Structures are given as structure tokens and as C-alpha cells.
Structure 1
Amino acid sequence: MGAMNELIDRAAVGLLVRVLTDASPGTSWTNVTAAGGALDHLSLRGRTDHVSQGLLADIAGAAGPRGKYPTAARIFRRALKDADFTGWTLWPVTETAVTLALDSTESGDFDDCLRLLAELTPRLTGEFAIRRLLAADLDRALAVVLTWTAHPDEHVRRLASEGTRPYLPWAVRIPGLIERPGATIPILDALYRDPQEYVRRSVANHLNDLARHSPEAVLAAAAAWAAEPDGNTQWVIRHGLRTLVKKAHPGALALQGFAPASLKVTPPRLDRSVVELPADLAFEFEISNTGSDPARLAVDYIVHYMKANGSQSEKVFKLAALTLHPGETRTVSKRHAFRQMTTRVHHAGSHGLELQINGVRYAHTQFLVET
């Protein structure tokens, strides 16, 4: 994360001050300048909040009789004329706009802030800042966001899907988005056939988020899309249902044509019985279709990791999607990396490797990991 922190550094804040000075020459940006010189040891989120506090202080000093939010919105819109008004320093800008809009007593500032985020998001996504507007008034915000699905700019259309994801990485959770899984389905319905992959990928990730707590709503949406597809719809559905397929959800498997099949599956053959970190574990196995019909197969594998307390936890990994004709046998191979990472710490001891095909588990094989 260290390199990510440097996305907002002294130089970036200095450029932001130059742009804002050109946009509002009469405003003193001393607090923002000071914030730019005090970023060491702060995370990216911490730097965002620190610079935003500087912006809030300087805008408070410049605010006219109309109030702080209109002053900020006017300056930020003027700054958009400058091509240098871009990059990660736009994150504190968007957070500042939202803070002022939510503090405002003028009702129209809420809707104008949504419009401002749509104007700013082509320079840097407003997906994080919009979360607080959603939390403050979900229905009001979603009504505006839904109109963005027809926006000519792909960044604004993506913001409609990405900003409303229930489990958006790095972002605060919005309870209403989790409690009301159907609230954002109209947005996804409008975007699943978007011409831009950038937008379609967000739709798929959003659908996958919903699958964590509302699989039936997800399957209903995916089935409706499958009934009115374009050339990219199957990819969107497959990517959006990936977690349900890993969990062997019957409805998700059936929707993608992964029906129960008559199979013979050999136990996975490992290239070693002891994995000394760091290393790759290679394995292969054979699948035979013993039935009388072609078999469309979702082939996954499961690693049973040793935990610090001596128990095991499993994680499912995608391997392949393939079709076997009656009597056909296919050899499948894979290399799985074992590396110590911040997101996964490996512990010495007995591990397991298991195959999962169309939701059915086969052949659990044990091996040791030494750290």
C-alpha cells in the first residue's frame, strides 16, 4: 500500500493548489498547501481526509453569502476547464463537495452535488465520495443515479453501477444497499448491454456483490438478461455469477448450462508431497464423460489451507470451463502458487487439494506445507 499512498503527495497537492488558484484567484489556499506538506506516514485514505480538511478550511474563508457548498461547486467547475485538474487529488475534492452538500441547509445542494460528481468522475472516479450521499438519502440519490445509465460519458455510466455496489472495495458500507438488494437492479438492467467493457465489468462485479446476500434476486436478474442477450451478455452473467458457481449454487450452475453429468475423475496427481515456501504446486488429473450426452463442465479446485489455530479453511479457485463428448477424456493441469502475502499468510502443516466439477466434489488429496 506504500506506493498507493504516494498517489497523493506534496507535488500532487501543489498542482491542485495551482489549478484552484487559477480557478479562484482571490481565494487563499494556505490550508491546502500546509496539508500537502504534512502527508508523511498517512495512508491514501488518510491523505485524502487531510487534504479535504484543508479544502474545507480554505473554502470556509472564501464563502460568500450563498454558502460554502455553492462556493466550492463554482470553484471546482471552473477548475474543470484546466486539464491538470485530474488524478488522485480529485478524491479529496469530491469528498469536500459531499461534506459541504450534506452540511448545507439548502435542499437543492444535495442534487447539485450529485451532478457535480458526474462532472468530476471522468477526471477521477466519484465512486467513493458518492457513498455518503447514498447513506444520507438512498432513494433520492438512486433516482438521480438511474438517469446516469443513459449518459453519453462511459465514466458516468460506470459510476452509476460502481458507486452503488454493496461491497465496493475501499468504500464505506451502505446498509440500505445490502438490506434492499432490488434497489440497484434497475441500474444493472439498464447497463448490462453497455457498449463499453469498462461499464459491463462493473455491472458483473456489482451482480457478484449482490450474490453474497441475495442469490435469488441475482439469478432472477441474470435469467432476464439471458432472455434478451447481446454478444457480451454471457460473459457478464458468467462473471457476475462466479461466486455462486464456486459455491455450487444449483440455480447459477443451471443458468450457465452446467447440468449434472456422469463423470469419472481421477485423483489429482501432485508434483510434490511437501511444499517449501515459496513454491508452486503443480497437479493434473483426468476427467472422462461416461454418459451418453455431451457434458458442459465448470471445473474448479479447492485448497484447504491450514490456519494458525490448527483448523483448515477452504478457498475455491476457477480452473476451466470445458465440454466433453460422450466417452471423451481430458487431462487438466494447473500450477498453484504458495507465497506469503499480506492478504494470505501460510501456516505450516497439512493442507488439502480437492476438485469440484459442476458443484460436485471429487478426490481430496493431502500435502504438507513447510514455511
Structure 2
Amino acid sequence: MGAMDDLLSPDVVARLTTAISSAAPGLDLPSMTSAQSAVRDKRLRGRVDVVRDALLSDLPGGFDTVEGIVPHLLRDPLFAGWMIWPVTELVTHRALRSGSTEHFDSAMELLARLTVELTAEFAVRDLLNERPERALSIMHSWTSHDNEHVRRLATEGSRAYLPWARRVPWLLENPESTMGILHATYRDSAEYVRRSTANHLNDLSRIDPAIVTATAARWAEDPDGNTAWVIRHALRNLVKRGDQRALTLLGFSGDGLVVAQPQLAENVIEWGGTVEFTADVTNTGSTAAVVAVDYSVGFTRANGSVSPKTFKLGSRSLAPGETVTVSKSHSFRPITTKVYYPGRHFIAVQANGVLSPQAEFLVERGAVD
């Protein structure tokens, strides 16, 4: 098990059991006691499920029981950190099983209180799936909350592609539905919230690029000191894809760019080694160009297919007829967040979306794993 899994370790589950006992004296908690050992062989998501199910088993009654216990937990210093995640899911499960609109709204309120101590962004997805328009209406009201964690719950919890979270198909089908939340938060006083807003808009570029660039253009017309950064961060994937509207919004220009095939220092890379390359970018146009330069690595996957991933190289200003040589090294050193496979890979460089020919290289499996 990795370090992330230990965020909900047996000791953490034991402390949560003690906190529940304090909040509900005399309550028998056999499932929670069993959960302390049951989480050992699970990954983090599985551990959350084990503890949530134990809470559902041990806590009697319906949503009213949960609604009575959670405020006591929030006053207990022992109730902190990742033990809060399964409690947020307990709240949503009981509210949805009730089917009551009153309980739905109360669950949203409890999540807003719980998110201040950790995050309720994963649990709120269940409520969004059940009643998306009602949930979004409440989340929009959070954008004016005095606590930045609650404001971020509005922006992060409603992201189309929130990492680790369940998908909400309705959000994918209605990308315009969260625009009110984004317009209310792109100038938020907290960088924590602004970054979430930018990531949210960037998510939507996978669904509707036009709505993303239109939104960025609207923000550019009514900016504050942080808006330029928010727009750049929100448009980053569209820039990598060479979206001309996004490039123009960010001040990139040049309609006569040529990118030569990258030149590799070595065509064979040892396992755990580094690929080094250079590439020439030329402005063949008659006016100066401001160029966003990126590079892609085509990674061989386990099934033998090649999947490209794009990385930033920076930006350049090029006079008419000027050529600049860009260089970069990309490490294949094993890391926990990326699995590499031996075989043929490629490098390509792009300038304002103009792509170079690919340069292939071979990654050989060696003695280092």
C-alpha cells in the first residue's frame, strides 16, 4: 500500500470510531471496529467505501440520525483529516435513501460545513447525479460564502472531469450549466478558488471549446490583477491543441510558422534514461510572431499502442524570417505516477499548433526497473 492509502489507516479509523462514540454515547459500533483491520489491504478509495459501509451499518435510523451526529463530530478536535471523507459519503447516502427534498438540502448544508475541515467534493457528486439543477442552484449560492473552502466546493465539486470522482453525465451534456459559478469566482480573493475555477474551465475544453474561449474572452473584458493568470491556466489544453481562438486570446500570433523534425541526441534510450532533442522553429511570415512552443512524447502503452502527451516548452518572439532552436530533455526515470513500457516512442514539437514531423526513438528495457 502507498502513502496515499495510509491517509485512512487503521489508526485513523480507530480515532473516527472513538469520535463517533463520543458523539453518540452508548452506541455499539461493531462494523467500525471490524473496519479498522478491513482497510489494511485496500487502496484509498476502497478504504473509504469500507468505512462508509461500516458507518451505514452501525448508525441506526435514517438521515435524522446522521444530521444529529455530524454537528457533534465537527466540535470534536479528534475529528480531522481524511476520516472526514467517508462521513461525507454517509451524509449523501442517507439523504438520497430518504428521498426527501428537505433532507437533500440539509445534506448539501452539512457538506458545506464538512468541506471546511477536509473536502466534500467527492461526496457532492452523488447529490449532483441525483438532482443536478437543484444541487447547482445551492452550489451557486456558495460562491458568495465567507469561507474559501465552501466557495471552492462550488467550483471543484461541479467540475466535469474532477479527478478521483464519479462522473456526472448531466454536467457533460450541459457544459453551460456551471457558467454562473465560474463567472462568480474567476476574480475570487483566494488563489485556491481561482485555480479551481481555471481547472474547471479547462475541463470544459474537452467538451465545448467554443464556450471556453467565449468565457475567457468575457473575463478578459472585465479583469482584475489575477485574471490573466486564470485565463492562461484555463486555456492551457486548448493552446496545446493549437486552438486559434485560444492562442489569439493569449496574444500568440504568426501564420507562417514552420517546425523542423526534432533532432535526437540518441535514437536508443536505456531504461530510466533521458531523451534529449533540439528543433528549429522558423517564422516564414512577413510580420513578427509570438509563439507558444510545446512538445509531445508518444508513449508506448502496455498494449503496444502509442499515446501522446503534450508538455510546455515556453514562448518565443520571432522576427520575420527568424529561426530559433529549442532544446529539451525528457526523463524516463521511473516515478510512481507514470508507468513506462519498452518499445518505440516519438517526439514532436509544435509552435502555435503547427506540428513538426515525428522523430522516433527506442526505449530499451535494461537492468533498472
TM-score (normalizing by structure 1): 0.91
Q: Any conservation in 1 of the 2:10–2:40 contact (CA below 8 Å)? A: no
Matched, 1:147 2:127: no
CA RMSD of aligned residues (A): 2.1
**Structure 1 residue 45 corresponds to structure 2 residue 45:** yes
Does the 8 Å contact 2:259/2:354 carry over to 1? Answer: no
Alignment partners' CA distance in 2, 1:135 and 1:197: 28
Query: What SS is found at the alignment partner of 2:31?
Result: helix
1:36 is matched with which residue? 36
- After superposition, the Cα gap between the structure-2 partners of 1:343 and 1:14, relative to the gap in structure 1 and judged at 3 Å, is closer
Q: Secondary structure at 1:314's aligned position in 2? A: strand
Counterpart of 1:317 in structure 2 is: 311
Aligned residues: 365
Amino acid at match of 1:50: V
Identity %: 48
**Secondary structure, aligned partner of 1:28:** coil
How many Å apart are 1:286 and its aligned residue? 4.0
After TM superposition, the structure 1 stretch with the greater mean CA deviation from structure 2, 260-269 or 194-203, is 260-269
Alpha-carbon distance between aligned partners in 2 of 1:110 and 1:358, rounded to the nearest angstrom = 47
| Change in 2 beyond 3 A, CA 1:264/1:182 | closer
| 1:234 equivalent in structure 2 | 228
Offset of 1:324 from its aligned partner?
A: 3.2
Match of residue 155 from structure 2: 161
Post-superposition CA distance 1:271-308 (Å, at most 9, x none): 22211111111223344545453321110112233455
Amino acid of the residue matched to residue 148 of structure 1? W
Which range moves more in the overlay, 337-346 or 111-120? Answer: 337-346
Separation (CA, whole Å) in 2 of partners of 1:357 and 1:342: 31
Q: Which amino acid aligns with 1:54?
A: A
Secondary structure in 1 matching 2:3 = helix
In the aligned structure 2, how far is the partner of 1:160 from the partner of 1:105?
Answer: 23
- Aligned partners of 1:190, 1:148: CA distance in 2, in Å? 10
Deviation at 1:122, TM superposition (A): 1.0
Alpha-carbon separation, structure 1, partners of 2:10 and 2:357: 56
**Residue 236 (structure 2) pairs with residue 280 (structure 1):** no
Deviations 1:221-280 (A, max 9, x none): 111111111121121111111111111122222221222343465543322221111111
What displacement does 1:105 show? 4.5
Q: 1:148 to 1:270 in 2, by over 3 A?
A: same
Residue matched to 2:239: 245
Counterpart selection for 2:202 from 178, 198, 208: 208
Specify whether residues 370 and 105 from structure 1 end up closer, same or farther in structure 2 by C-alpha distance, changes over 3 A only: closer
Instruction: Specify whether residues 307 and 128 from structure 1 end up closer, same or farther in structure 2 by C-alpha distance, changes over 3 A only.
Output: closer
Letter in 2 for 1:268: P
SS in 2 for 1:366: strand
Q: What amino acid is aligned across from residue 69 of structure 1 in structure 2?
A: F
Letter in 2 for 1:120: L
Question: Is the partner of 2:152 in helix, strand or coil?
Answer: helix
* 2:116 aligned residue (107, 110, 122): 122
- Helix, strand or coil at the partner of 2:195: helix
Partner of 1:107: 101
Q: Please name the residue that 1:336 is paired with.
A: 330
Do structure 1's residue 366 and structure 2's residue 328 form an aligned pair?
A: no
Cα distance in 1, alignment partners of residues 177 and 22 from structure 2: 41
Q: d(CA) in 2 for partners of 1:183 and 1:311? A: 36
- Following superposition, the deviation at residue 329 of structure 1 comes to 5.0
Matches of 2:319 and 2:225 in 1, distance apart?
Answer: 25
Equivalent residue, structure 2, for 1:303: 297
CA distance in 1, matches of 2:340, 2:32: 43
**Whole-Å separation in 2 of the counterparts to 1:175 and 1:186:** 19
- CA–CA distance in structure 2, aligned partners of residues 29 and 117 of structure 1: 23
1:171 is paired with a residue whose SS is coil
Instruction: Sort the Cα spacing of 1:98 and 1:313 in 2 relative to 1 into closer, same or farther, 3 A.
Output: closer
Q: Aligned with 1:84: secondary structure?
A: coil
Partner of 2:182: 188
Q: Can you give the 5+ residue segments of structure 1 that lack an aligned partner in the other structure?
A: none
Using a 3 Å threshold, how does the CA distance of structure 1 residues 165 and 264 change in structure 2: closer, same or farther? closer
Asked whether the equivalents of residues 254 and 285 of structure 2 are also in contact (C-alpha less than 8 Å), the reply is no
Aligned to 1:94: 88
Alignment partners' CA distance in 2, 1:9 and 1:345: 26
Larger displacement relative to structure 2 (270-279 or 280-289):
280-289
Deviation at 1:219, TM superposition (A): 1.4
Q: TM-score, normalised by structure 2?
A: 0.92
Counterpart for residue 345 of structure 2: 351
Distance 1:260 1:281 in 2: 29
Distance 1:349 1:19 in 2: 52
Q: Please, which runs of 5 or more residues in structure 2 have no aligned partner?
A: none
Query: Does structure 1 retain, via aligned residues, the 8 Å contact 2:342–2:362?
Result: yes
Whole-angstrom distance in 1 between the partners of 2:109 and 2:286: 59
1:22 and 2:22 matched: yes
- Alignment partner of 2:85: what SS? helix
Q: Secondary structure at the match of 2:358?
A: strand
Q: Equivalents in 1 of 2:28, 2:345: separation in Å?
A: 61
In 1, the alpha carbon distance for the partners of 2:26 and 2:304 equals: 64
Deviates more, 1:289-298 or 1:207-216: 289-298
Q: Which moved more, 1:110-119 or 1:277-286?
A: 277-286
Residue aligning to 2:128: 134
